[in-house]
Amino acid sequence: MPRLLHPGAWWLWAAGLAVAASRTTNPILLLLIVAVAAYVVAARRSASPWGRSFSVFLKLGLIVIAVRVVFQAIVSAPIGTTVLFTLPAVTLPEVMAGVRLGGAVTLESLVAALYDGMRLATILICVGAANSLASPARLLKAVPAALYEFGLSVVVAVTFAPQLVADLDRIRRARRLRGRTVGGVRGTAAVALPVLEGALERSVTLAAAMDSRGYGRQAQRSTLVRRVTAGALLGALALTVIGAYGLLDASAPAALGLPMLGLGLLLGVAGFVLAGRRTVRTRYRPDPWSWPEWGVTLCAVVTASTLVGLSMWGDPGLIAPIDPLAWPAVPLLAAAAILVSVLPAVIAPPAPGRRTPEPGEEQT
Amino acid sequence: MSPIIEFTSVTITYPGADRPALAEVDLVIDEGEFVLVIGETGSGKTTLLRAVNGLVPHFTGGTLAGSVRVAGRDTSTHQPRDLADIVGIVPQDPLSSFVTDTVEEELAYGMECLGVPAPTMRRRVEETLDLLGLADVRDRALLSLSGGQRQRVAIGAVLTAHPRVLVLDEPTSALDPGAAEEVLAVLQRLVHDLGITVVLAEHRLERVLEYADRVIHVPGDARPLVIGTPASVMATSPVAPPVVRLGRLAGWSPLPLSVRDARRQAHGLRERLGSLRARATAAPHIPTAPVVAVARTRASYGPIPALRGVTLDIAQGEIVALMGRNGAGKSTLLSTLVGLRRPDAGTVRIDGVDPATLTGPRLIGRVGLVPQDSTDLLQRDSVVAECADADRDAGVEPGSTARLLERIAPEITAEAHPRDLSEGQRLVLALAVILVATPAVLLLDEPTRGLDYPTKERLTTLLRDLAADGHAIVVATHDVELAAETATRVVVLADGEIVADGPTAEVVVGSPLFAPQVAKVLVDHADADVPLTVAAVRDALAVST
């Protein structure tokens, strides 16, 4: 039965891949992760406009790599000895001693930058994959009731962006109708005000419409419940901060670490449940969570935990050799763990039929 | 019948206003009534409607004295959201009120807010899809819907919450005649089958008057409301549809409210006019060289064609009404004429020049377009600044626009902010701004949206004068009465093709959708030569006496 997988499952899957990518600089493994993500996206992306966003993230990834390499060449100190070329060096004043601009550029430092850039790009591409498999708007529908109001404002803000572009277009057309210049800095500046005015007016209209349809209705709760909720949320925040401090500072007593963090999380969940009860809203056709969701999540857990385990154990295959430069080896266990995450292309049900664009629909 | 809406000596004053928008309103509306609210633009109709669920004053500011109670809940102690399960309010522009992005989610949104259990929501969404005929588009994006579909979704979105009162602000003003009838049929069904109370404001009375149980006339300037049966209010109301004005002219009693009523009484008038018609002579038409020449023009949005080979010549002094359903290609044709988009194929010539190659004063001196939302044209914060800009744009002597505006709309104050003007005044200001460049061709896109009868009449006179001065005018409109009053020629577009083109009377009289009310009342099956407007009937009768 074609249906959309629960958005949470897709975001967990993408997070698993991203965690895996963050643990390695081996270009072969990184490319493998990108390939896995791309294959699953091609097989299971949704028909919504968001579904077509993956290629945008691929391009963004390329830009990230390029920027990283260029910065390495210009700013950072070189690694290794294979000098490719020498840029004119800039002598900086005393106070900035230690910062280098220009100078010799080595092959090793460029390759190191390339690998590092690839790691960033791969993480970005994982986010892109989640984006085109399950739009953020769908994910927000699944957030706890207490966060729903916040989620909705994000959705409204997101839908306003295309509306602003349309407005800009309308005002520019109107300028032409009055025989004025459209392009240039002055032309753009002149349309900014009416566009913003229009957006503001529309938000007020939308707010009125939402209010008259019952947005923000609250169930009657006693003062006691309200105070308990607020107390639980504040306490959770404090405990989490203490717990995080305990975990990060090695000299802190062990009791401050995980136990406090766990307690904080528990209290936080309780607070959210209580806060959620205050809103009366229900959900129309919520996405179910059944065995395909569990399967997809399991794949992500396998991939992420294997890579994290290998890196903690110190598997040399995860770090590509830079100095001396050598062709990276393929660590078989890590590669196999990454390949597990391609299974969702089969486990997840196919997305419901892609429809052809309707007349008048925006073409992207 | 039990009362559901009660206004008790309600006075509403907006901040900074020197007199109340509504004063001492006492009003009781019973459950299951269909109430029509009429009045000129800016008279306080919308204020009255929005007071029903507390949007006034909770959202607009201002003060409300007296009390408004809906199903026993007072709006002073209940926010609009606390009334959401009782009052469903459909604003003027449905698109601006949509919260989600697909039809099904939009229908469910209100119920989600009210905490309706999931199985009930599922059932009501299905029922509403069927009731409003939206099942085919259930998972379409809202942006991709036609105007009529959007309006039905907006109605459906409030209906799913099972409100007892439905409040609609000009639900048909942006719709073509066919879509408007669709929406009104749905409302009729809700009142009759489900016993919902409907309160509806509308300018185009010809469309809704016959459905109403009661009419509330809001005269404006805080004068007392006139409330009564449609016939009693229409007997004196300054805003009246053509069929009522025809009835008054012919002295019929009871006053007809629908074409059907009027036809029963029109027998005598038809005969009198029939005997006169032999003597009447058609106005001589002087053919001149075409100033607009469109040949085999095609245009498309991506893969979807918007114009499929349109050929059209328009001469000086002609007023052409461009009609057809929403999405038929009217607006596309207008933007092609003004050079905003280049056609994919074919040629467009204004005065012998391709408008897409022109910019600045050379463009606006040849062709001017007043777009659907005339506010787009106005970007300054006062009328006087706007006029000065227009003088500079057109390269004319300073003060020209202000003088022009003074002539066509003397009541507009120079310091006013364009956004504070009424819909009609804004349109006139936009017209002045365009006209000061003396374009040979004037294009108007849906100018009568939200205009009351007096403003429409002023627009009609203005357009006729301009045509007499030699301007060629093209008006894209859904308003059949405007077409009958002004146009010398009607062009009907369907799916990007011209399906009818000819003198107004020839095109509109035979059509059940495009015929104006007077023609529907007076048409004999024998011939097409009938008067189209009340003024034409008056003139014909004046000749005979």
What is the spatial distance between Cα A156 and Cα A160, in angstroms, rounded to a whole number? 6
Q: What pLDDT, on a 0 to 100 scale, did the predictor assign at position A360? A: 41
Among residues B477, B460, B391, the alpha carbon closest in space to that of B424 is found at: B460
Give the type of residue at B271. Answer: E
pLDDT at B246: 92
Tokens of B487: 């146009």
Three-state secondary structure of A148-182: HHHHHHHHHHHHHHHHHHHHHHHHHHHHHHCCCCC
Helix (H) and strand (E) counts in chain B:
22, 19
Interface touch B327/A360, C-beta < 8 Å? yes
| pLDDT at residue B101, rounded to an integer | 75
- For residues A361 and A301, what is the distance between their CA atoms, to the nearest angstrom? 39
Inspect the interface and report whether the beta carbons of A176 and B340 lie closer than 8 Å: yes
Q: Which amino acid is at A14?
A: A
Structure tokens given for B327: 């999405």
Looking at the DSSP bridge assignments, the partners of residue B502 are: B490
- Whether A92 and chain B come into contact, CB under 8 Å, resolves to no
Please list the ranges in chain A whose pLDDT falls under 50: 354-364
Q: What is the pLDDT of residue B277?
A: 60
List, in sequence order, the alpha helices (H) in B115-215. 118-131, 147-159, 177-194, 205-208
**Which pLDDT value is given to residue B86?**
94
**B19 in Cβ contact with B221 (< 8 Å):** yes
- Its pTM surpasses 0.90: no
Question: Are residues A171 and B85, on separate chains, in Cβ contact within 8 Å?
Answer: no
Q: Do B113 and A159 touch (CB under 8 A)?
A: no
pLDDT digits (tens, 9 = 90+) for B43-101: 888 899 999 999 988 888 889 999 999 999 999 999 898 899 999 999 888 888 888 77
Q: Which residue has the tokens 């295309």?
A: A162
Q: What gap in Å lies between CA B218 and CA B222, rounded to an integer?
A: 9
Those residues with Cβ within 8 angstroms of residue B420's Cβ, 6 or more apart along the chain or in another chain: none
Of the partner residues A170, A179, A360, the one whose CB lies closest to the CB of residue B361: A179
**Cβ-defined contact of B108 to A358 (cutoff 8 Å):** no
* Contact between chains at B118 and A286 (C-beta distance less than 8 A): yes
pLDDT at A145 (0 to 100): 64
Query: Do A176 and B363 count as a contact with CB atoms less than 8 A apart?
Result: yes
Side-chain-facing half-sphere of B479: CA atoms under 13 Å: 28
Which carries the bigger pLDDT value, residue B422 or residue B132? B132
Cβ-based neighbour number of residue A10 at 10 Å:
31
Task: Identify the residue with better confidence: A254 or B375.
Answer: B375
Give, as one character, the DSSP assignment of residue B142: G
Strand order in the sheet with B367-370: B367-370, B441-445, B472-476, B319-323, B489-494, B497-503
Is A285 in the B-facing interface, judged by CB distances under 8 Å? yes
For testing contact with chain B, the best of A135, A177, A196 (most B CBs within 10 A): A177
| Amino acid identity, position B378 | L
Q: Where is mean pLDDT largest: A146-150, B269-273, B416-420, B467-471?
A: B467-471
B162-210, pLDDT tens digit by residue? 999 999 998 888 788 888 888 898 899 889 988 999 999 998 888 899 8
In the block, tokens 């600044």 appear at B385
Scan residues 121-150 of A and list those with Cβ closer than 8 Å to B.
137
Q: Please state the length of chain B.
A: 545
DSSP state of A279: B
Distance from CA of A10 to the nearest CA of B (A): 22
Cβ separation A358–B144 shorter than 8 A:
yes
Tell me the DSSP string of A204-250: HHHHHHHHHTTTT-B----HHHHHHHHHHHHHHHHHHHHHHHHHH-T
Q: Which helix or strand (DSSP H or E) is residue A42 part of? A: helix A27-44
Inter-chain contact B379–A362, Cβ cutoff 8 Å? no
**pLDDT interval class at B463 (50, 70, 90):** very high
Enter the tokens of residue B460.
């009609």
pLDDT at B532: 86
DSSP string, B55-105: HHHHTT-SEEEEEEEETTEETTTS-GGGGTTTEEEE-SSHHHH--SSBHHH
Residues whose CB is less than 8 angstroms from the CB of residue B6 and which lie 6 or more positions away in sequence, other chains included: B27, B28, B29, B67, B68, B69, B70
List chain B residues with CB under 8 Å of A172: none
Residue A286 at interface with chain B, using a CB cutoff of 8 Å: yes
A207 with B105: Cβ contact below 8 A = no
Task: Provide the token pair at A217.
Answer: 């209705």
- Which tens digits make up the pLDDT trace of B298-349? 988 777 788 999 999 999 889 999 998 887 889 889 999 998 888 999 999 9
Mean pLDDT of all residues in B22-46: 90
From CA A322, how far away is CA B340, in angstroms rounded?
57
Residue type, B256: P
To the nearest whole Å, the CA of A133 is away from the closest chain B CA by 18
Residue-wise pLDDT for A276-285, tens only, equals 776 677 788 8
Task: For residue B55, list chain A residues with Cβ-Cβ distance below 8 A.
Answer: 208, 211-212
Whether residue B358 is predicted with pLDDT greater than 80 in this model: the reply is yes
User: Which residues numbered 215-254 in A keep a CB inside 8 Å of some CB on B?
Assistant: 215-217, 219
What pLDDT was estimated at residue A356?
A: 40
Other Cβ atoms within 10 Å of B86 Cβ, number: 21
| 3-class DSSP assignment, residue A137 | helix
- For B173-203, b/e burial (b = at least 16 CB within 10 A) is bbbbbebbbbbbebbeebbeeeebbbbbbbb
β-partners of residue A311 are none
**Strands B319-323 and B441-445, bridge-based pairing:** unpaired
| ipTM for the complex shown | 0.81
Mean pLDDT of chain B: 87
**Looking at the partner chain, which of B115, B125, B145 has a beta carbon nearest the beta carbon of A282?**
B115
B459 vs B448: CA distance, rounded Å: 9
Q: Per the CB < 8 Å rule, is B111 touching A193?
A: no
Cα gap B158→B154, rounded to integer Å: 7
- From the list B476, B466, B443, the residue with the least C-alpha distance to B355 is B443
pLDDT score at B142 = 82
Q: Strands B3-13 and B214-217, how do they pair?
A: unpaired
Contact A173 B143 (CB under 8 A): no
pLDDT value of position B287 = 59
Of B110, B364, B377, the CB nearest to A213: B110
> Minimal Cα distance from B303: which residue of A?
A359
B85 contacts on A by Cβ (under 8 Å): 214
User: Which residues from chain B sit within 8 angstroms of residue A357, using beta carbons?
Assistant: 144, 302-303
Asked if the Cβ–Cβ distance from B161 to A213 is below 8 Å, we say yes
Residue B65 tokens, joined: 């004295």
Nearest chain A residue to B337 by CA: give it.
A177
Q: Cα separations (Å) of A209 from A204, B84, B529?
A: 9, 10, 48
Question: Mean pLDDT over all residues of chain A?
Answer: 81
Which positions in chain B touch A214 (Cβ < 8 Å)? 81, 84-85, 110, 113-114, 161
Give the sign of the dihedral formed by CA B503, CA B508, CA B509, CA B515.
negative
**Cβ–Cβ below 8 Å for A214 and B114:** yes
Structure tokens at B341: 């988009």
**What is the distance between the alpha carbons of residues A233 and A239, in angstroms, rounded to a whole number?**
10
Q: How far off is chain B from A178, nearest CA to CA, in Å? A: 7
What is the bridge-based pairing of β-strands B87-90 and B165-169?
parallel
Distance to chain A for B274, nearest Cα, Å? 47
Give the whole-angstrom CA distance, residue B452 versus residue B42: 10
Considering CB atoms only, which of A209, A284, A360 is closest to B91?
A209
pLDDT at B416: 85
The mean per-residue pLDDT over the stretch B539-544 comes to 77
Out of A208-212, B223-227, B389-393, B525-529, pick the least confident. Answer: B525-529
Residue B320's nearest CA partner among B500, B470, B512, B504 is: B504
Q: Do B117 and A282 touch (CB under 8 A)?
A: yes
Tell me the chain B residues in contact with residue A360 when contact means C-beta distances shorter than 8 Å: 143-146, 301, 304, 327
The reported pLDDT for the residue numbered B443 is: 94
Domains of chain B: 3-239 (3.40.50.300), 241-281+516-545 (no CATH), 290-515 (3.40.50.300)
Query: What span, in angstroms and rounded, lies between the C-alpha atoms of B224 and B244?
Result: 23
Least confident of A241-255, A333-347, B259-273, B473-487: A241-255
- B138-142, B389-393, B431-435: range with lowest mean pLDDT: B138-142
Between chain A and chain B, the number of residue pairs with CB atoms below 8 A apart is: 169
Percent of chain B whose pLDDT exceeds 70 = 96
- Closest approach of B270 to chain A, Cα-based (Å): 45
Cβ of residue A354 closer than 8 Å to a chain B Cβ:
no
Residue type present at position B423: E
Helices (H), B230-379: 230-236, 242-250, 259-265, 267-277, 330-337, 360-364
Beta-carbon count within 10 A of B3 CB: 16
Nearest CA in chain B to A172: B376
